[in-house]
Amino acid sequence: MLTQEENELLTRIGPGTPAGELLRRYWQPISVVNELTEEAPTKLVRILGEDLVLFRDKSGRVGLLEDRCAHRGASMFYGRVEARGIACPYHGWLFDTEGNCLETPAEPAESKFHLKIKHKAYPVQKFIGLYWTYMGPKPAPAIPKYDLWVRRDGRRRILVQPQLDCNWFQAMENSVDPSHLQVLHQTSIAGNRTITDTTRGLTDDVAEFDFYEFSHGIMKKRVYKNGSVDEHPVLFPNILRQSNATQIRVPMDDTHTKIFFVRFDPSADGSIVDQEEILPAKYVKSYKNPPDALHPFTRFRMDEVQAQDHMAWETQGPISDRTCERLATADRGIVMLREMMRREIDKVKQGLDPLGVMRDPGHGMIDSKLAESLNGPEYRRELREMAA
């Protein structure tokens, strides 16, 4: 159980909040690359409580600017892109990708006023079929070279989950909550087995859980009664590594989250694949009907693993009220993640880099240490489905 204050500390991510400052130390994906086209060169992006516009100018440069124009606040989303940047639709103030104001059309020709204007701008990088941004203090670190993001012996593709209408930390706590797999997902993982006790589901397959910290986050480990073991890391602070995918949970604001899957399918013979720069992307349809309603005014699909998780996360509430939860021994991974968050928030307050921030762009591939020896094809299928 947390106090209201402790709950706010972990969940609020707007500018100036402790968790918001922590998350601003990491590059975050904001868009699939092919969402920007010549016909539609701007895209609204809501991230960490800020409304921004992603755009590609006619010289091919990509920028991310505050959506609200520095002049009198019209939306830059409706701006016109040109070779030098993007011009506000209202009075034509022109900004480049760095947020420099290059022109203020209605001012006298000799006016230097535009030199005093600086629009909020964040850097953008193109990486594995996604545009990424970094919203923290400069200098920006490197995007970590997690194995599934840089391995060349296979193909990557992107999946975009339907918008998650709740706080990001509910999804992260779920990733250090191993006991739900055998209950919430029992029908999806049972395969040919008959479940005789739907309360316990497949809980009795598991001998024990364990959690330990490693260099990039927390490992959750299940030991099955048949001796097999599986481990899945949380890559701190907002990534779940699964067998063949990473699931990146990007807070849009305190009560909405965008989830990108980067899936990696190794080539059968280990050969190097020369993959195209624009990766295939699939947009998963809403798991809810109606799609934009909140519990209890919507009905969740429950026929696949990710839909089941989506139900569990959203029905906890827009921001789960942790002042009235009752954690048990199986929830110790959740306690560990909260402690890690508090510790890393403190590091940021002291001016230090939090866990997982990589400063050297030349760093080697990061082994995200997933180990899998699951106890049956059903479980493997479940993991494939989670990332499918």
Binding positions for ligand FES, rule: CB under 6 A: 69, 71-74, 88, 90-93
Q: Which amino acid is at 101?
A: C
- Residues 6 or more apart in contact with residue 174 via CB below 8 angstroms: 180, 309, 312, 313
Contact 67, 88 (CB under 8 A): no
Q: Which does 340 bind (CB under 5 to 8 A by kind): ligand FES, Fe ion, none?
A: none
Q: Which does 69 bind (CB under 5 to 8 A by kind): ligand FES, Fe ion, none?
A: ligand FES
CB of 34 to ligand FES, least distance (A): 28
Q: Which does 193 bind (CB under 5 to 8 A by kind): ligand FES, Fe ion, none?
A: none
CB of 70 to ligand FES, least distance (A): 7
- Residues 6 or more apart in contact with residue 16 via CB below 8 angstroms: none
β-bridge pairing 281-283 and 154-160:
parallel
CB of 103 to ligand FES, least distance (A): 10
- Considering beta carbons, is residue 230 or 309 the nearer one to Fe ion? 309
Look up residue 103 and give its two tokens.
Answer: 């022109």
Look up residue 67 and give its two tokens.
Answer: 């959506």
- Considering beta carbons, is residue 92 or 123 the nearer one to ligand FES? 92
CB of 11 to Fe ion, least distance (A): 20
Residue 177 binds Fe ion, judged by CB under 5 A: no
- Considering beta carbons, is residue 130 or 383 the nearer one to Fe ion? 383
d(CA 297, CA 309): 18
- Considering beta carbons, is residue 72 or 299 the nearer one to ligand FES? 72
- Considering beta carbons, is residue 106 or 324 the nearer one to ligand FES? 106
CB of 267 to Fe ion, least distance (A): 28
- Considering beta carbons, is residue 90 or 127 the nearer one to ligand FES? 90
| Backbone dihedral angles phi then psi of residue 299, each to the nearest 5 degrees | -120, 130
- Tokens 């193109």 found at: 126
Look up residue 119 and give its two tokens.
Answer: 């629009």
Question: Which residue in 384, 364, 363 sits closest to 372, CA to CA?
Answer: 384
CB of 121 to ligand FES, least distance (A): 15
Q: Which does 381 bind (CB under 5 to 8 A by kind): Fe ion, ligand FES, none?
A: none
Q: Which does 137 bind (CB under 5 to 8 A by kind): Fe ion, ligand FES, none?
A: none
- Considering beta carbons, is residue 74 or 102 the nearer one to ligand FES? 74
H/E segment holding residue 383:
helix 377-387
CB of 214 to Fe ion, least distance (A): 21
CB of 72 to Fe ion, least distance (A): 47
Contact 258, 250 (CB under 8 A): yes
Tell me the Ramachandran region of residue 351: left when phi exceeds 0, alpha when psi lies from -120 to 50, beta otherwise: left
Near Fe ion in 294-313, by CB under 5 A? 309
- Tokens 């998650």 found at: 164
- Considering beta carbons, is residue 155 or 221 the nearer one to Fe ion? 221
- Secondary structure (3-state) at 327: coil
Question: Which residue in 33, 381, 28, 380 sits closest to 239, CA to CA?
Answer: 28
- Which residues are at the interface with Fe ion (CB under 5 A)? 309
